[in-house]
Each structure stands twice: as structure tokens, then as C-alpha cells.
Amino acid sequence: MKRYCSFVVLLVLLLAVGLSVVVKITSTDDFSQNNKDVLLLNEIAHKMVLDDMPPENTASEREYVILDVNGNVIYDNRSDRSEVITVETAMKRCYPYTYITENNQITGSVVLTDSDKHFDRLRTNIIVVYCVCSFLLIGAAAAFGAYIRKAILRPFAKMKDFASYVAAGDLDRPLEMDKGNLFGAFSESFDIMREELKASRAREHELIASLSHDLKTPVTGIKLTSELMAAVFSQNEGQEITVTENMIVKMNNIYKRADEIALLVGDLFSSALEDLGAFKVNCADENSTVIAELVSEYDDRGLVRISEIPQVIVHIDKLRLSQVIGNILFNSYKYAGTPIDISFRLDEPFLEVSIRDSGPGVPEDEIALITHKFYRGKEQGDKEGSGLGLYIARILMDKMGGELSVRSENGLCVTLLIPLS
């Protein structure tokens, strides 16, 4: 629509320029008209010298006054004779005039009183015709613009809004378009596409529900088994079964892992992997030493080297932060397999946690992508993965009011900004 308005403005400007050109051209014809007036004046003066009377063929076409040497009117063919004509009047009014001379003596004068009347009429007629044509052209352009807006621009705007809704995941809004419109067939195709996407999403929800059920069943079994084994170990301490405190801790860790997996599966089901913003967090104040506890739960291979943690109070969801740390460590185990160094720095209002491995890292052009949903690096080879680990970790950190960033520097370094209380 803005382009069309610009076009109309440009058209008006061109018409204005054209009008000024017409006026200019008609104005330049004044010189030609002056030449004709001079010739006519000379003709009348010559006739008066020879015949003492004006030319007959001129008298009926042009209005002029012939004066004697004293300024008295000898001849006047004007239709309106209210104005007194003298040489002085002619000079003031810019009427063309000339003197009648005989034997080098001035015997009178001739004054044309209608020099520019017929030319003014011609100029006026041209300008009127030009203006009428201009208004007709502007009207036609406006009508054509209204048609373009109704038949093309408005449908395009509707399709643009429709595409935005679909891109945002809103598949319940149909594309309302007149089937008789030029784009009727296209709009119908787009609406069919929307229905297909909606049906596909429904099938995806059903699939995730099924997967959720299939995953929760063995997880529940793991939890029950770990509970039972922990109970047996607790009851048989000091008997034939040698039970160490480490075994009980490991069984508790298995139970916690199973609980976290069950929670994650539930989250994936409820959000259908379409909107991880549905994740809920329940933040509370915790001592920063809890981070070391969460790391130890996932350090199954003993590869983690953790530095001293500043004694501060952090505002976190302990379970969600456990998932974040677990996803990061699991990612390093899978793709690096090297020792993992965890360092801390107080950067108010955050506690900065850097988790660094010494693996191959990630190409620079992929750094911004590895925290996106389903993205897997090009150099992962045949290693399995869903492309969700770092993505979920980033979403959870955002939910807790923190931040997750990644850089590749002699390995992969993931930095967490954990909010302080």
C-alpha cells in the first residue's frame, strides 16, 4: 500500500511538472505573438498613410484604436469602449502600439487593445483540458489502486498473517478468503495444508504419548528395583551380604536418575516437544555447595575436576539444575571422553560456572546452533543423539533466570550464569 501511495504522489508530481511545462511553452509563444502584433501595427499604420483608413480585413478580427497626433480617437473598433486609450495608457497597460509617420513626421498612433486576449483564451483552454485529463488520469489511477488493494494486496496481507500464525504453531485459524478471488485456489490449498499440519501434529502427540508410556514403564521398574535393593542392603548391614555406604549411595543415585528421567519424559509429553516453555521451575534459595553434590551424582567415570566453590546463596530449582549439569556432562562424556574441569567465578548478580572438556570442540560456524532444538553437529559420526541435551539445558537455565552460553576453545566450554539470591 505504501508503494501505491508513493506511485500516486509521483503521478501527481509528474502532472504538476507537465502543467508547468505547458504554461512555460505557452508563455514562450508570447514572442511569436509580439512579432505578429508588430506586423499588424505596421500594416495598419502603412494603410493609414496610403489610404487614410484602416485595413478592412483586419478591422473585423482585432480590436485597436487609431489616434491623431493630438491623441484624439480617429478609429475605435472595440466592443467595450469604456477605457480611454492614449499612448500613455498603452505604455502603462503594456498594449502594443506604434506611431504613424509621414515624411518623417508623427501624424498619429495605433494601439492594439486585444493583443493577448485570444492567446489567453487559447492558453486557458489548453490548461483546462490538461487539468481535466489530469484529474481523469488521477481518478483512473485511484480506481485501479483500489482494485489492486482489494484484489491483490489485501489477499496477500491475509496470506502473510496466515503464514505467521502457522509459523507460530497456531493451526486453528483458517485462511478466510473469498473463493471467487484471484487467489481463491491458492488460499484453498493453503487451508488444506493447515489441516494436514494440524492432523500431523495430532499424530505426533499420539506418538509422543505412546513413547512416554513405553519409557515410563521400564523407568518405573528401575525405581522399584532400586528401592527394593536399597531396602535389602539397609536391612542386611553386618550380615553375610557385605554392604558399603558407597553401594547405598549408588543405589540412591540410580533412583534419583530414574526419577529425573520420569520427570523429563513427562515434560516432553506435556509440551510435545513443540513448546519447551511449558517447563515449570520451582526456584528456592540453596547454598552454592549443592552444585558439587549435583556434579558428583553424574561423575560416574571420575573424570570431573571441580575447583573451590564460592560460598554464596543461589536461587535455583535443584532438580532442574541437576538436569542441566547432567546433560552437559553426558554431552562431554559422549563426544570428548576427556577430563572435565569445572571452575567458578563470582560475577554479581550471578555465579559463573564454566564446564570445560579437552575434546575436539565444535566448529565456529556451529557454535550458535548447538543449543537449538534437534541440532546435531556435522562431525558427530555414528554417535547417537537426539540434539536435545544442550537445548533443554538452555531452556531450563532461561526459566531459572540464568543463562547458558557455549564457546569452543581447546575443547568445548559451557558457561552457566546461575542467579544469586
Q: Domain extents for the chain?
A: 1-168, 184-271, 280-419
* pLDDT value for 184: 64
- According to CATH, the topology of domain 280-419 is Heat Shock Protein 90 (3.30.565)
Cα distance between residue 49 and residue 66, in whole Å: 12
For 100, list phi and psi in degrees, rounded to 5: -95, 120
Can you tell me the mean pLDDT for 37-42? 79
At 247, the amino acid letter reads M
Q: Which of 403, 368, 375 is nearest to 389 (CA)?
A: 375
- What is the percentage of the chain residues whose pLDDT exceeds 70? 62
Cα distance between residue 319 and residue 391, in whole Å: 17
Higher pLDDT, 358 or 264: 358
**Identity of the highest mean pLDDT range in 12-21, 35-44, 208-217:** 35-44
Q: Please identify, in words, the CATH class of the domain defined by 1-168.
A: alpha beta
Can you tell me the mean pLDDT for 380-407? 80
pLDDT tens sequence across 13-38: 666 666 665 555 555 445 455 677 77
Higher pLDDT, 129 or 208: 129
Q: Is the pLDDT reported for residue 346 higher than 80?
A: yes
pLDDT tens sequence across 92-146: 877 888 888 888 888 888 888 876 555 566 667 677 777 777 777 777 777 777 7
Q: Which of 45-54, 278-287, 354-363 has the lowest mean pLDDT?
A: 45-54
Q: Which of 121-130, 249-258, 262-271, 375-384 has the lowest mean pLDDT?
A: 262-271
- Taking the CB of residue 117, how many other CB atoms lie within 10 A of it? 12
- At 178, the pLDDT band (50, 70, 90 cuts) reads low
Q: Which of 36-50, 54-68, 342-356 has the lowest mean pLDDT?
A: 54-68
Can you tell me the mean pLDDT for 386-396? 79
- At 262, the pLDDT band (50, 70, 90 cuts) reads low
- What is the percentage of the chain residues whose pLDDT exceeds 90? 16
Q: In b/e form, how buried is each residue of 260-281, taking b as 16+ CB within 10 angstroms?
A: bbbebbebbbeebeeebeebee
Cα distance between residue 389 and residue 299, in whole Å: 17
